[in-house]
Amino acid sequence: MKLLVAVKRVVDYNVKVRVKSDGTGVAIADVKMSMNPFDEIAVEEAVRLKEKGVATEIIAVSCGDAKCQETLRTAMAIGADRGILVETTEELQPLAVAKLLKALVDKEQPSLIILGKQAIDDDANQTGQMLAALADLPQATFASKVEVAGDKVSVTREVDGGLETISLSVPAVITTDLRLNEPRYVTLPNIMKAKKKQLDVVKPEDLGVDVKPRLKTLKVSEPPKRGAGIKVADVAALVDKLKNEAKVI
């Protein structure tokens, strides 16, 4: 079974994000970048499936500029066998990424495509669903447990009412949630081994995909700063302020 895992290069989750002074976007110059945490979980799950003998090959895919090679090397240090970078300097939106992944799915014919449920930079939560629709594949989102038996995949997912377990036939698309697993620590020997693994670079035009943005960001601004709290003398004063000042009751 061949697995394809999509990974995205984003601003590290420990970094305080700052908006550019001109309001055109988020400042990423000289900012620490890393693999999207949900995608890291996806890579870890693929590696665990390979360790169980379910998968035979793991292909990590990233879309973006040349610096995304670092993210792919990290995925290969975790355990991916090879990487594919779709290199472009164009702003990539979820639909464009889904089309690129669809083209690679058609080429590689993986049994499972695993993605993080969302990226922490845009929080779109769209790419996996769009890919499933474009490729006409069954999908399971927000996976908290994945079990493979033959050509069937059992996925437990979190819903508002608790847990839901669904069964899919491969090939299929799965998006991962936080509770699926805890990614392993990447060791130095594995980082060195990853440098020797195959990494192919293709262009969107090689895949026949137009990645021109369909949406335009007009302005990016920080949320308003939260005002300081106050103390009240008693419950009556609290109710008065909630009713007459905050107007929430």
Tokens of 97: 């990424």
Question: For 44-61, what is each residue's pLDDT tens digit?
Answer: 999 999 999 999 999 999
Domain count, the chain: 1
Average model confidence (pLDDT) across the chain: 92
Based on its alpha-carbon atoms, the radius of gyration of the chain, rounded to whole angstroms, reads 21
Instruction: Give the integer Cα–Cα distance in Å for 12 and 7.
Output: 14
Predicted confidence (pLDDT) at residue 94 exceeds the cutoff of 90: yes
- Tell me if 203 is assigned to some domain: yes
Per-residue pLDDT band for 143 (boundaries 50, 70, 90) equals very high
Tell whether the model's pLDDT for residue 85 goes beyond 90: yes
- Between β-strands 139-149 and 152-159, what pairing exists: parallel, antiparallel or unpaired? antiparallel
Indicate whether 47 belongs to any domain.
yes
Sheet holding 82-87, edge to edge: 162-169, 152-159, 139-149, 172-176, 112-116, 2-6, 57-64, 82-87, 199-202
- Residue 80 has a pLDDT of 95
Which pair of structure tokens corresponds to residue 19?
A: 């908006």
Per-residue pLDDT tens digits for 224-233? 888 788 888 8
What is the pLDDT, as a whole number, of residue 207?
93
Q: What is the CATH number of the domain that holds 104?
A: 3.40.50.620
pLDDT of residue 102: 96
Average pLDDT over residues 23-46: 91
Nearest Cα to Cα of residue 6 among 104, 142, 90, 149: 104
Give me the pLDDT at residue 36, please. Answer: 95
pLDDT recorded at residue 17: 86
Q: Is residue 249 part of a domain?
A: no
What Å distances lie between residue 99 and 107, 150, 153, CA to CA?
13, 28, 24
Other C-beta atoms lying within 10 Å of the C-beta of residue 170: 16
| In-domain check, residue 230 | yes
Specify whether the backbone of 179 is left (phi greater than 0), alpha (psi in -120 to 50) or beta: alpha
Instruction: Give the structural domain span for 47.
Output: 2-244
Residue 118 lies in a domain: yes
- Residue 62 falls inside a structural domain: yes
Per DSSP, helices labelled H in 36-152 are 37-51, 68-78, 94-108, 127-135
Write out the two tokens for 163: 């847990």
- Give mean pLDDT, residues 93-113: 95
Q: Which token pair is 55?
A: 């998968």
pTM summary value:
0.85
Binned at pLDDT 50, 70 and 90, residue 75 comes out as: very high
Mention every residue, 6+ apart, whose C-beta is less than 8 A from residue 93: 213, 214, 215
- As a whole number of angstroms, the distance between CA 34 and CA 2 comes to 25
Percent of the chain clearing pLDDT 90 (strictly above): 73
Q: What is the pLDDT at residue 160?
A: 87
pLDDT tens, residue by residue, 162-199: 899 999 999 999 999 999 999 999 999 999 999 999 99
What's the pLDDT score for residue 226? 81
